[in-house]
Structure 1
Amino acid sequence: MAKKIESPCVSVCQLSGGLCTGCGRTVEEIRHWKAMKRPEKMKTVKRAEERLKKTTRD
């Protein structure tokens, strides 16, 4: 059985420009997290990580 993908939430829920400053997910990604299948969650986590890297570089 595949390992469960944990939510990237770090309990710093503040939105800025439609993104959570804690985890890097969009409002839609946060809203749909529980309904997402494993591959979609994996992609979402990767995108969120990239967004956070980009915001810390700017």
Structure 2
Amino acid sequence: MSVSDKVRSPCVSVCALDENDVCIGCHRTGDEILRWTQMTNDERREVLRLVAKREEKVAL
């Protein structure tokens, strides 16, 4: 698998975890951030699905 085939990180270089251990920049948990490089593309897609839900909550 080439680098271009991998699901890209949602990191936006605004790195700070809130009181719920969720990054205020990319909306991943601390654990998701730490494990990102070892995840499969399917696992990464699932994280991105969860990130989208977390972003929706913040927007409300």
Tell whether the structures are fold-level matches, with TM greater than 0.5. yes
Q: Which runs of 5+ in 2 are unaligned?
A: none
- How far the C-alpha of 1:24 sits from its partner, in A, is 0.6
Q: Which runs of 5+ in 1 are unaligned?
A: none
Structure 2 letter corresponding to 1:6:
R
Q: What RMSD in Å do the two structures reach over aligned CA positions?
A: 1.4
- Select which of 25, 29, 32 maps to 1:22: 25
Q: Percent identity?
A: 39
TM-score by length of 1: 0.88
TM-score by length of 2: 0.85
Q: Which has the higher strand share?
A: 1
Q: Tell me the equivalent position of 1:34.
A: 37
The structure whose RCO (Cα within 8 Å, separation 6+) is larger is 1
